[in-house]
Structure 1
Amino acid sequence: MTKRPGVAAAAGGALLALLGPSPATAQDAENLPREPRGISGGYTSWTTDGTRLPDAAVSFDVAEPAVRDAADRAWFPATGGGTDPVAGTARVELAGTARLTGATAAAPLVLGGLRLDLRDGTGTLRTRTVTGGEVRELALADLTSGGPAPAVRTSGVTWSGLDAALTEEGARLLSGWSGREFAAGDGLGRLAVTVGTGSTAETPAAPRPAPSDTPDGTPATTPTTPPPTAERDAPAAAVRHTTLAPGGEQTVTGTGFTPGEIVLVAIDADTRYQTAADERGRLTRAFPVYATATEGAHTVGLTAVSGGHRAVARFDVRASH
């Protein structure tokens, strides 16, 4: 087959544009909150369980720095944007890409440049992708609040229970790519957003905090901007018991993380909990070892949702005789 350098170069340029940060437009600047607080960190969880995707033979995955657990949930770090906590508005730029694979699609559909525009309990999930060799930016899904009002803290805001439904534009994109029929309004999952603002001043007229959507049902801790520090040691994990019996309780301790960052805790590669590193970059999490746990080696992994910080500890399960 004859190679076409011009086409290859165009496709390569399109891919670089897809994966790079989205340039701001004049309309973007006008739509930002009038006096936004800069976003200093955070994450968005995206759960795809119960959506139209499996029925259409479409699988969902992510690329770093986003991470995915075993429960159809992905975590995208927040890397920029602004928010007005009192008005409940925000623009949240997410790192990482979503990757859709279809049984009848010729190639995966890569969704980059993910961005959330939130206002008055509703919003839009925007993305960039490459179709026909050209970069295309679109509103992929409309967001509506199926949960409590935003939980406003002095250092950040949490939106939980944001239901995502395909826009007409998003439905056309998925239908054309997959060869399966998608319609506007088809569910695309549920999102929960937690962002830090780095503010230490009290927020006026803030609503009462509400629990956020976490894997273990406990309120999430909002990440804050860490103070400048000297170079840190690499993250490490250690367990309290190197060997224990089924039905016992294990505790993992992590060190070397960035103060305030959110860390996912996975048992044998199954993400079950989230916690936040303290001001020294340390964290501790207790968890049960089920009575049905198999004898032998097991792992507990710590992964920062911002990407790059990971640590694993190992322990053995042995039945007492």
Structure 2
Amino acid sequence: MVTERPGAVRSGAAVLAGGVLLALLWPGTAVAGQDPLPDEVSGGYVSWATGSHGVELEAEKPAVRGAGGLTWFPAGIGGADLGSGDADVTLAGTARLTGAGGPAAGELGLGGLRLRLEGGEGVLYVRDGQAGAEGAVALADLRTDGAEPVVRSGGLTWTGLRASLTADGARLLAGWSGRPFAEGDAVGELDVTLGTGGGPAPVPGVDGGPAPGSAGSPDGVSPGAPPAQEPDPVPAEGAAPQEPPSAAPAALVEHPEVAPGTEQRVTGEGFEPGEVVLVAIDEDTRYQAVADASGQVFRTFPVYVTATAGAHTAELYSVTGDRRASAGFRVRNEG
């Protein structure tokens, strides 16, 4: 799974262990004496849209090419700091660059992706497929241009990070394609959404407590036991009226049935305004959306020509995983 489900317990030891493993995987980029980031990354995605020199970006699983020219890389091992927005995380999948050098150049495979953000600036590291284990290259510098991350309990999001080639990145692309690339050339934008197991405030089902509705939680029901019928509480004299409980999120698809090779649209409501919501198709997280002022989210996604006929599911869930909704639809058999 890309984003860890509720119920995971985070600890300083777990974050430290993740930092040690990250240093072992990336010995050339570790900073001596640097303290590990306080919040362990439990899931998320980084989307990358290239837009320069005719470079096209493809991906190998578990990364996925999405609509609108976006390629999505699941977050792997790493840490974050919800207080500052800093992050240091590996990305799963392999990026394959095509197009710049024509058919003769073939593809440039870039694996071992790692993203580091510190103080509003960042670097995207890659490994050239021909360079071996020690072939880490700082491919691109990342700029926030003064933007601030959206930080919520259990996660953070950076939007519109501008990527530009480093000197090493320019040499790598020029050597592959035979075309001129220069330091500072734009190579698109990245959006970063990272989930963590904790945050500024405890979240039920994430910070070690039972998930809402689970056995042992305040509103849970033990297996096999009927719910107890409690009398309605009588408000104390002078007490402020209680807020009604917020409605659970709901999801609806535009078309109950679609043909392969078309598009589907899912709409969700009941999320927090401005909340980052991840979108999973058949349990495969592919996209993200941001709830509007009314708590609604909208996402159009392709139904691939290779989609299997039958039942499919679109699921919306918050980065923390504590709010989710799903809707089903069917793909017609066009055979």
The normalised TM-score by structure 1 is: 0.59
Q: Is the 8 A contact 1:114 1:126 kept in 2?
A: yes
Q: Distance in 2 between matches of 1:143 and 1:93?
A: 15
Task: For structure 1, list consecutive stretches of 5 or more residues without a partner in the other structure.
Answer: 1-20, 204-223, 231-236, 254-259, 277-283, 289-296, 317-321
Note closer, same or farther for the CA distance 1:105–1:185 as it changes in structure 2 (3 Å cut): farther
Aligned residue number for residue 329 of structure 2:
313
In the TM superposition, residue 168 of structure 1 has moved relative to its aligned partner by: 0.4
Whether contact under 8 Å (2:152, 2:199) holds in the other structure is: no
The residue number in structure 1 matching 2:72 is 75
The Cα of 1:96 is off from its aligned counterpart by 0.9
Judging changes above 3 Å, is the alpha-carbon distance between structure 1 residues 67 and 143 closer, same or farther for their aligned structure 2 residues? same
Q: Which has the higher strand share?
A: 1
Q: Which residue of 1 aligns with 2:94?
A: 97
Alpha-carbon RMSD across the aligned residues, in angstroms, is 4.6
Which residue in the other structure is 1:51 paired with?
Answer: 52
Aligned residue number for residue 111 of structure 2: 112
Q: Which amino acid aligns with 1:153?
A: R
Task: Name the % identity.
Answer: 42
Q: Is the 8 A contact 1:104 1:179 kept in 2?
A: no
Q: 2: CA distance between counterparts of 1:68 and 1:226?
A: 34
Count of residue pairs the alignment pairs up: 236
AA at the equivalent of 2:30 = D
Of the two, which has the highest radius of gyration?
2
Counterparts of 1:277-288 in structure 2 under 5 Å? none
Superposition TM-score, scaled by structure 2 size: 0.56
Structure 1 position 312, deviation (Å):
7.8
What residue identity is the alignment partner of 1:314?
Answer: R
CA deviations 1:200-249 (Å, max 9, x no partner) are: 5439xxxxxxxxxxxxxxxxxxxx6898999xxxxxx99586469xxxx9
Q: Please, which of 36, 39, 61 is the counterpart of residue 37 of structure 1?
A: 39
SS at match of 2:135: strand
Letter in 1 for 2:46: T
Gaps of 5+ in 2: 1-21, 215-250, 259-263, 269-275, 301-308, 320-326
Residue 275 of structure 1, CA deviation: 7.9
- In structure 1, the residue matched to 2:201 is 202
CA distance in 2, matches of 1:116, 1:100: 18
One-letter code of the match for 1:190?
E
Contact 1:147 1:162 (C-alpha < 8 Å) held by counterparts: no
Question: Is it true that 1:62 corresponds to 2:78 in the alignment?
Answer: no
Q: Deviations over 1:126-184 (max 9, x none)?
A: 01113367851110000001362111212111111110000000000000001111111
Contact 1:33 1:89 in 2 (8 A): no
Letter in 2 for 1:130: G
TM-aligned CA deviation for residue 186 of structure 1: 0.6
SS in 1 for 2:147: coil
Q: For 2:114 and 2:29, how far apart are their aligned partners in 1?
A: 15
CA distance in 2, matches of 1:39, 1:170: 27
Which amino acid in the other structure matches residue 128 of structure 1? R
* 1:252–1:301 Cα change, 3 Å: farther
Q: Give the SS at the match of 2:201.
A: coil
Mapped partners of 1:131, 1:44: distance in 2: 24
Rounded to whole Å, the distance in 1 between the matches of 2:34 and 2:315 is: 32
